[in-house]
Each structure stands twice: as C-alpha cells, then as structure tokens.
Amino acid sequence: MKLKHLCCLIRSPGRNRMLNRVSTLVLKRGISTLHHDSLFRVHPSVSQALAENAPVVALESTIITHGMPYPHNLSTAKEVEAIVRSHNATPATVGVIDGKVHVGLSSEELDYLSRSSSSLKVSRRDLPYVISKGLSGGTTVSATMIAAHRAGIPVFVTGGIGGVHRDGENSLDISADLTELGRTPIAVVSAGVKSILDIARTLEFLETQGVCVATYGPSKNFPAFFSTQSGLSSPYQVCNPEEAADLIASALSLGLQSGVLLAVPIPEEHAAAGQQIEVAIQTAVKEASMKGITGKDVTPFILQKVNELTKGKSLEANIALIHNNAKVGSQIACALSARMKRRKITICSDHKPKPSQSDIVSMNPFLLLHVVTWCIRTCPPLIQVVIGGINVDFIAKGKTKTLQFGQTNPGSVCQSFGGVGRNIADSLSRMGHQPLFISATGADEHSEAVFSHCKHMNTSGIVKLEQQSTATYCAVITESGELSLGLGDMDIHQRITEDYVSKFENQLSSATLVCLDGNIPTSTINYVCKIAKKHGVNIWYEPTDSEKACKPFLSEAWKSLSYSSPNLAELCTMNRTLGLRTPEVLPSSLEEVLNVAMTLSRPLLEHLHCLVVTLGHLGVLVSGEHEAGSVNLTPRQKKTKRKLCALHYPALAVTSEETMNVSGAGDSFAGAMMAGMIQRRDTHTCVRMGLLAARLSLASPHPIAPTMTLDAVDPNLVHGPNWPMPTFFWLD
C-alpha cells in the first residue's frame, strides 16, 4: 500500500473500521513473528497462551542434560512442568534440538534430551555454533533468557544461577548468566546463587550490571542454594506474588534492558541437610582444583561429586528447591498476567509495552502509520495456495451388503461438493486459514451452487468458463462405505492451464505452502514446480488416483516437491514411472504393507522431504528426515545427508454404521495435517489432527465435514482416542 493511499484511509470516514482491522493485525502478528522464525520453534500450547496473554513460565534444560542423571532428570523435568500447569500457567521448557531452539518441548523431545549422551551445554556464546552445526543441547540460564525474551515470556524459573567463581578476581571466571541478566529484561526466579561460587562478588557484579535483586519471602536474607542464608542480604524484598508482579511490571514499563533476580530460599524442611552439603561442596571444590577442572566443566563435576558424598541428599534437596521455585514462579507469572490484563497491556517479544486495540484506535495518524509500516515490514502474511479440481458430487449409498449391477438397488442419494483441491482448501479454511484456491468451473447452474456453498473460502482464483460444464462426479458406495463404482465428467480440469495459473505467480512465489492435486494438467504441475524451485517454495502433491499419480514423475519436476500423500497403489505408480521395480500384487497384511511402503518411499526421499502414505484401515506411514526420535516435517534450507526414518500410526476405528462418505477422508487428513504444519505443531500432533479430520469426514454426508474446526481436530482437546505411540522404523 502506498503512503498517500494509507494517509487517505486514515483520514477517511471509515477510519475506525480500518484501525480496528489494523489493530487486530498488530495484536495477532506481534507474537507470531518468532513462531515462524527458521531458528526458533514455539510449541503450540506456548504460542496460544502468549497470544491470549495467559501466564507462561520459561524453564531451562541444562538440568535435564547436565544437572542430574537419568532417569531423575526426566522425572524432575516432567514434575516441574506438572507443577507449573497445576498453578494455571503454561510451562515452556527451552532446549536446542538439531540446530533449532525450541521454546516449549513435547514429551518426546524431553525424553530425547534426557537420554542423549551427546547433548551440549548451550550458553549465549555456544548458540551460533550449535545452531550452525545442527546440534542438540540443554540451554543454560543465559541461553534460556535469550529464547524466552524473543518469545515474549517475562518469567523464567531455574534452580540457581551462575556467578563469580571463587578466585574470580584473578581468573576472571564469571558466568554469562550475570551479564545476560544485565542486558535481557527477564525476571529470573531462582534459589539464589550456587554456594560453590563467590556470592558476595556475584552480588556486587549484579549491581554493576544494573540488575534489581530481591529476596522472595519474609526477610532480605539472600539464599545460598542449599541453604536459606548466605550471610548476605538482598537490596530488596518482596513478600508475595503480587508484590513480585508489581516489581517485574515496573521494570518492563520503564523499558530497562536489564533483568530482575528473585531469590527464593529453599524450603526449611530441606534446608536441614544444608550443612552436610556445604562440607561436601568444600571437598568437591578442592578436588576439582587438584584435578585441574576449569570453565563450564566445574559445576557438573562438583554437583556429581557432592551427590556422591552426601549419598543422594544433595540431589533430593536440589529437586525440592526446583519444585518450590516452580510453584513460586508460576504464582508470580499468574499475578503478572492478571496485572497486565487489568492494564490492557501485552508484552512484545522486545519487551516494550505493546498497545491494546483501544490504544491503537485512538492513535494519531502519524503514530498509526509507524505501527502499520512496522506490521507490514516485519510480519508478511502467511499465504497458502491450493491448485486443483472442484466437483459437484452425487453420493449414492446402498442399503444392502452387496450391490447388484443391472438392476435398481435400494439406497439413498445426496448431493455434495468435492474435488481434491476444493476439499483441501475447504478443510484449511474451516481450520482458520484462507488459502487461495485456483480452479475452473463452467458457467452453469452447478457453478452457482458451488460458489454459494464455498462462501467461507477464498474463491477469487476460480475462473468461470463459458460453454463448459462444471465437473461432476457420481460415487456409488456399499452399505459398509466402500466405493463400488465412480463416474466423472472431469474435462474442465484440463482448463486449469499453465497460462491461467501464471496470473498468480506473485502469490505462488511468496507462498508458505502450495498444494497441487493430480487432476490438473502435467504442464501446469511442471510450471508450478519450476516456480517453487526458483523461490524455495514447499509443494505438497496430492496424487488423486493411481493413474494421475505419475504426472510430476514424467520429468524432473518431482524433485521440486517437498511432500506427497499417496496411497500404496499411487506410490507404486510413482516408482514405476521412475523405472523402479514394484510388486505385481499389493500385500494385505500390516507387516508386508509397511515393508513395501517403506521400500517404495526410500528412493523418493532422495529429493522429497517427507512422504505420507495413507493405508486405509491400516493407518498412515510417515517417512522422512529423522529428528529427535520422530520425522521432521520442516524442510531444511541446505540439502545435507539425512538420516531417514518412518513412523506408523494406526487408524482410528470407525464402524460401517458410522461411515456415510469415503470420498473426502484422505483430503480431510491432508488438509488437517497441513494446518498443523503451518502452525508449526509437532509431527505426532499433525498426524493425529489428520486422523481426527478423516474420522469426521467419514461420518459426514459431505467430503469435508461442516463441523470441522481447529478445536474439533486438536488431539489435546478431543476426548476419546487413547493415542498409542507410533511404531518407529529406520530407513537407512
């Protein structure tokens, strides 16, 4: 939008309507920029909580990778997250997995970090190297602060922070935690400073860095991790969550680029062992010095040695203080969230106060112009494009177990609207996205019905062609829901030509995802693949049927695809088109089906990022790049040698009585899985969203169930399925 046009809009009579739309854009996108960052991934539960200004608590992960032995590390991590949830806050454990900073970890990712023997200890200085090499590790206080700050999380809970090491005035061994507190506006809730450090000099250094330090509780005594008293006092004191929230809010409102340290004493019942632990610490410190252990290796060594000397009592005390910190931090986060909501202020990822919608509407035009420009520059819209067929469907379902050809069979007939491309665009639209749908219809009565039914979709890419017939399809299905016969008049799909699709080249070249169905001409598929290769756009190819599955594979175009979702017969066609051997007869047993599917997927994964093979009542096989015990759905920019794996997910049970329509189940699955991927959800969630969407479709007379919404296919919200873990296979 040009500047003069924007200024005219601001002065126009519709100013308030426009401002409301802009303010909604600002408020929604302000939190989303990071969530689509190529280096940072925010878990959907964290993203949703932040969008709603609900309380979120950041948690570090070096306690998982380096602080405790397995399985204590995993159980403690899960217990801490459970404590945060029990106090009505959302936990966001931060870690680095395969070169990506994750803000919020799934259960599988927690398990991966807890078991990994190669995980690194990642501080601020280590982040560039670990990310550039695609490595994994636990984040220290400083690295966790960076990630939490970028995500817009103002409260972070840890065990104890680092500090100035003993003899630090000579060695200059000072933890990066302290300098991070001096330049990152985060409230850190900890049990003070580890007692193996020089606490007095640490407090002096924090003062120099401009960090506000306060003890949480009835006194100013600064705690020493395993002990409630260090012999030193904090400059300030807060007595309860509300006072702590007021302190944090004041720091944020002032725009200070420094943090707040809230020191929480260990519970008294666990502080009794403090003296014994202190003696063990002195012994461990001397041993570390004698062995020449220095730098970041000192703390893990001492903690391990102290645990041995105290016969596990230090580990018990460590877990107890972390649990207590999680409780206190969650209460503070809740109090801060309530305070911000009362003041109608949200926290941006840069931690400057962000205006509410009413604040934006009341802005003067020049300030508004600045906000709009920022929004357009930093938050480009997420564009999805679907290119494919649109049909008017007539579904005839028999009322007997078998259908007799050559005579009239009892049954029911209903009209609905289908087409693979239309179905996928429909499902994405019902789940909160607005993909541009490019297709063609005739200028007839069927097309009028199509446009009327698809009002909720972006149909601006559909062309009406004179003297052409809208595609129609008639499906005859048995009582059990199996397809018995299909007839279609699909000639108009060939009018979705390269020339017509090229009118949308700008949208195609800037799309986050383009979906092609096999109904469109091969030349059109080749054109879109060429655009995708040039601009680095991800393409999902939906083969439609075993005859049309070959289209991209007739040339080099298939090497530009990122995803495809064939069934086993379509996968065979793809392989045969490339001159590869395929079985003459498709197997029926699960074990044989999976072996064939994996064998046929392997050569395609030389170029495709991920294959999703739909296996009907046997479920789904997802194969691709291995990442943290799962399949990575996000393509990497650089093509490197990948370890390949596959996951088999069983199908959800649907009875024949429940099955009303089989024509849209696969499309519903694909659309819901795409929706999950666009939202950066983890692989298990994406696939389960697809399975839930397919079940909705099967039980509906329409290919895409009108009841489909994001909540209706969210496995965290839908009760019923007891999700088994998928079966894991290596493909290499």
Rg for the chain, CA atoms, rounded: 29
3 state DSSP class of 463: strand
Q: Are 540 and 516 in contact (CB under 8 A)?
A: yes
d(CA 474, CA 490): 11
Residues ≥6 apart with Cβ < 8 Å to 571: 549, 597, 600, 601, 604, 611, 613
Q: Are 120 and 97 in contact (CB under 8 A)?
A: no
d(CA 460, CA 437): 7
d(CA 8, CA 319): 61
Choice among 60, 81, 570, 625 that is catalytic = 60
The tokens of 604 are what? Answer: 């395609």
The answer to whether residue 133 is catalytic is no
Q: Are 482 and 403 in contact (CB under 8 A)?
A: no
Residue 16's Cα: distance from chain center in Å? Answer: 34
DSSP assignment letter at 650:
P
- Among the residues of 344-395, which ranges form H helices? 357-361, 365-378
554: closest CA among 514, 518, 585? 518
The answer to whether residue 286 is catalytic is no
Residue 29 one-letter amino acid = R
Query: Is the alpha carbon torsion for 678, 684, 687, 690 positive or negative?
Result: negative
DSSP for 556-602? GGGGG--EE--BHHHHHHHHHHTT----SS---SHHHHHHHHHHHHH
Beta bridge mates, 101: 40, 96
3 state DSSP class of 208: helix
173: closest CA among 205, 143, 145? 205
Residues ≥6 apart with Cβ < 8 Å to 120: 65, 96, 126, 130, 135, 136, 137, 138
Residues ≥6 apart with Cβ < 8 Å to 623: 598, 601, 602, 605, 610, 611, 613, 631, 644, 645, 646, 647, 731
Burial 173-189 (b: 16+ CB within 10 A, else e): bbbbbbebbbbbbbbbb
Residues ≥6 apart with Cβ < 8 Å to 11: 365
d(CA 424, CA 446): 20
Query: Is the alpha carbon torsion for 187, 193, 194, 197 positive or negative?
Result: positive
Q: Are 235 and 214 in contact (CB under 8 A)?
A: yes
Q: From edge to edge, which strands make up the β-sheet containing 391-398?
A: 411-418, 391-398, 471-477, 483-489
d(CA 457, CA 384): 12
Choice among 100, 121, 194, 551 that is catalytic = 194
Q: Please report, for residues 363, 583, 681, the alpha-carbon distance to residue 414 in angstroms, rounded to integers and kept in the order given.
A: 54, 38, 36
Q: At what angle do helices 15-29 and 3-11 cross, to 10 degrees?
A: 120
Q: Are 77 and 54 in contact (CB under 8 A)?
A: no
Q: Which residues are catalytic?
A: 60, 194
